[in-house]
Structure 1
Amino acid sequence: MTKTRVKAPFKADHVGSFLRTEPIKTARKAFANGEIDRDALKVVEDQEIEKLVQKQIEVGLKSITDGEFRRSWWHLDFLAGLQGVEFFEGQYVSAFKGEKTRNNAIKVVGKVDFDQHYMIEHFQFLKEAVEKYGDGSQVAKFSIPSPNMLFTRIQGDEYYNGNREQFYEDTVAAYRKAIQAFYDAGCRYLQLDDTSWIDFVSEERIQAVVEKEGMDVQEIIKKRVSCINEVIADKPNDLLVTMHICRGNFKSTYITSGGYDQISDAIFAELNVDGLFLEYDDQRSGDFEPLKNFKRPDLTVVLGLITSKFAELENPENIKARINEASQFIPLENLALSPQCGFASTEEGNLLTEEDQWNKITHVISIANSVWSAI
């Protein structure tokens, strides 16, 4: 039987994380203090995720996530669930403008591999909730950090001792297993979140990564492209894989600024993903000129023109004008709209209310319906 491909990214889409609700915050604090056990915490998480699924469906979203309600970090939780990787208390290296994160980090203590990752169960619960409350037009979307995040975010390597090639090969193999496991669990819309690309948005960061890696900048970019492409090389045809790029998202702050100029060939022409979610909510992301390197008619570029950092709603006509400007480089049918990032990349969340959050989502849907209704 021929399998139907998910029609996503949708014209109105989103990155995935949502502000943690008060019951989630209370339960997680009680668990951390030893006042409830993990089973009791899961009961609250399950209830709140079901409510979140219903809310997303109610406002009109088609890609439905669990809001990352069970996570503390958008990336470290998944990476620490891989074999050979562990959490530890260390200085977290991402320097956000004006805010300091918690001192959680990851290190490699053994051969990197994938086996019975606990987030498979997280996805299965989400899928069942979407099937329970949806009408068949929605799809369960799950986000995991890109494999590039393991290379760029570890703060200790007690196993590979500088053997980069073996580290690379093992990570690719682990991720290929992961993608197949999510597919076998019913996932048809998987997003790879990858902030490693901010290494190439400014001369300061390019110089730092070249010194760290001891390689030419184009070699580093090529390696990060090949990592993604190798991981998804044998993915099933009906599994849609997208990639999200941003410049940091913690308590409404950011890490760096700069455009896509240095990586435009890589992401628009060489990456084999089905869609790209790009941060474009303010001047820090540069202009649309890099979009000229778009060469793939099967690629959807999701413009993150709506900010998830602040409550004020963007002028719809300004957003439509920016979409029109981007369409001078990429056909309108290959474009879509979303917030530039999630609302809570970590459990602390951005500095806006849940009402503000849903106003942003309905704003995205309203503008997208207006722009693409005739397509």
Structure 2
Amino acid sequence: MARRLHVRPPFRADHVGSLLRPQALYDLLQEGKCSINDLEVAQNEAVKEVVSLQQEVGIKTITDGEMRRAQFFEGLFDLLEGMEFQPERPITEFKKYISFIGFLLASGVPHFPSVYCNGKIRRTKPFYVDHFKFLKNLVSPENVKNIKVNMCAPTWFHQRHGSDQTYDLNVYKNDDEYFDDLACAYREEIRELYDLGCRHIQIDDPTFIIFCDNRTVNGMEEAGVDSRALLNTYIRAINLCTRDRPEDMTISLHICRGNYRGQHFFEGTYDAIADQVFHKLDVDAFYLEYDDERSGTFAPLKHIPRNKAVVLGLVTTKRDELETVEGLKARVHEAATAMSQSGVRSKEEALDQLCISPQCGFASVWQGNPIPQETQKQKLSLLVEAAKQIWPE
């Protein structure tokens, strides 16, 4: 049975999660020398600052901006029992069809940090529970439900290493066994966060987009990887994580094209995955990147089921240029028209399934994208104003 859409697209104007580090924290990280206590104090102050920013511009969703992470995926895999951090993993143990791995290989880089699963996976400590508790104390009780926690997709390191190098084959015989245990850890985290009042979790997924990138798909096939079977494996992995969640817990998924200091890694339209991913993924909303021509047209949106929301990433975080309210309004109506082409909904119904946001975070790594703090604020404010005009209360 399909889940109902319990919040009309998270919020009409939203943001993906990460925000530029305030100057004090940025300078501390840039210097690279401080005590753990000094770092925590700076992170706490940074979280307070970005919460104030979100409240000031009128963004109702509240995140901690990922101020406690050097990279978006930190604080999850590295805390799991059975996962070993390897600061110098041989580059030959990565899949060269992944674009940035191919670049590292071509550059002669011999090693790159990663993790390796050498034991049974267990969640013996929380990932982001303490972060949520801190954030919870910064908002009024009635706004706790508006806090969003971002989590890296369970497929992240498998994407890099494949079925032969992600886990010890003496521990897990196949991908299904590996993702079964990994998903159990995710569900435990989701349940604990829910019990504390969390009602929105966003899975940040840079893996589904690889199936839209022809160069990557061709590289997989040349390496003997069945790309369609792998896509199904990744859909199953996400669905295991979201299974049995409470009815009033919203789980959204951001399909990311890569975001390293303003650079993307993958191109291609959503056509290759739209029918399968939009229908089969057990999530409530999709955050989709639509900030430039590499994303293609809105045509794949006709595959969005009626009980799922779409957050259109129309505002770029990668360039220091400001969109316009009129431009955003025109694109939202263009998207709604495309969604209605399937005949399962009217344009008005399609419009009711839509939201707007930046196409990605402003700082998936602590250095951030090459835009100033003021531009970040202007872009968030622009989203709020556009949303008010598109969806007047």
TM-score when normalising by structure 1:
0.89
**SS of residue matched to 1:172:** helix
Distance 1:160 1:182, change over 3 A: farther
Q: Which amino acid aligns with 2:262?
A: S
Q: Which amino acid aligns with 1:228?
A: I
* Cα shift readout 1:304-361 (whole Å, capped 9, x = no counterpart): 0110111211133222221111101331000110000000001111001000111111
Distance 1:115 1:213, change over 3 A: farther
**How far apart in 1 are the matches of 2:69 and 2:315?**
24
Moved over 6 A (4+): 96-102
Q: 1:159 aligns with which of 158, 163, 168?
A: 168
Deviation at 1:171, TM superposition (A): 1.4
**How far apart in 2 are the matches of 1:147 and 1:163?**
15
Further displaced range: 101-110 or 222-231 = 101-110
* Cα shift readout 1:119-177 (whole Å, capped 9, x = no counterpart): 21112111221237xx6387111100111224213585463356323212211222222
Q: Does 1:169 align with 2:180?
A: yes
**How far apart in 2 are the matches of 1:362 and 1:97?**
38
Q: Answer yes or no: is the 8 Å Cα contact 2:8–2:353 preserved in 1.
A: no
**SS of residue matched to 1:277:** strand
Q: Answer yes or no: is the 8 Å Cα contact 1:306–1:360 preserved in 2.
A: yes
Q: Which amino acid aligns with 1:370?
A: Q
**How far apart in 1 are the matches of 2:13 and 2:138?**
21
Residue 368 of structure 1 corresponds to which residue in structure 2?
387
Q: 1:139 aligns with which of 141, 146, 156?
A: 146
Aligned counterparts, 1:218-367, within 5 A: 218-294=228-304, 296-330=305-339, 331-367=350-386
Distance 1:229 1:164, change over 3 A: closer
Further displaced range: 113-122 or 21-30 = 21-30
**SS of residue matched to 2:385:** helix
Q: Answer yes or no: is the 8 Å Cα contact 1:98–1:253 preserved in 2.
A: no
* Cα shift readout 1:284-309 (whole Å, capped 9, x = no counterpart): 01111111112x22211000011011
**How far apart in 2 are the matches of 1:193 and 1:68?**
12
Residue 10 of structure 1 corresponds to which residue in structure 2?
11
Q: Does 1:194 align with 2:205?
A: yes
**How far apart in 1 are the matches of 2:73 and 2:103?**
21
Further displaced range: 93-102 or 355-364 = 93-102
Q: Answer yes or no: is the 8 Å Cα contact 2:53–2:377 preserved in 1.
A: no
Q: Answer yes or no: is the 8 Å Cα contact 1:76–1:105 preserved in 2.
A: no
* Cα shift readout 1:235-282 (whole Å, capped 9, x = no counterpart): 011111000012111111110210001110122212121110000000
**SS of residue matched to 1:328:** helix
Q: 1:105 aligns with which of 91, 96, 114?
A: 114
Report the aligned-residue RMSD.
2.6
Residue 138 of structure 2 corresponds to which residue in structure 1?
129
Q: Which amino acid aligns with 2:214?
A: E
Q: Answer yes or no: is the 8 Å Cα contact 2:144–2:197 preserved in 1.
A: no
Q: Which amino acid aligns with 2:285?
A: G
Q: Name stretches of at least 5 consecutive residues in structure 1 with no aligned partner.
A: none
Q: Which amino acid aligns with 2:198?
A: C
TM-score when normalising by structure 2:
0.85
**How far apart in 2 are the matches of 1:163 and 1:227?**
13
* Paired residue total: 364
Q: Answer yes or no: is the 8 Å Cα contact 1:124–1:186 preserved in 2.
A: no
Residue 78 of structure 1 corresponds to which residue in structure 2?
76
**How far apart in 1 are the matches of 2:258 and 2:357?**
16
* Cα shift readout 1:196-235 (whole Å, capped 9, x = no counterpart): 01211122211223455732x3322222112211221100
Q: Which amino acid aligns with 1:139?
A: N
Q: Answer yes or no: is the 8 Å Cα contact 2:9–2:353 preserved in 1.
A: no
Q: Answer yes or no: is the 8 Å Cα contact 2:301–2:338 preserved in 1.
A: yes
Distance 1:166 1:86, change over 3 A: same
Further displaced range: 156-165 or 74-83 = 156-165
Once the two structures are aligned, what percentage of the paired residues are identical?
A: 34
Q: Which amino acid aligns with 2:377?
A: W
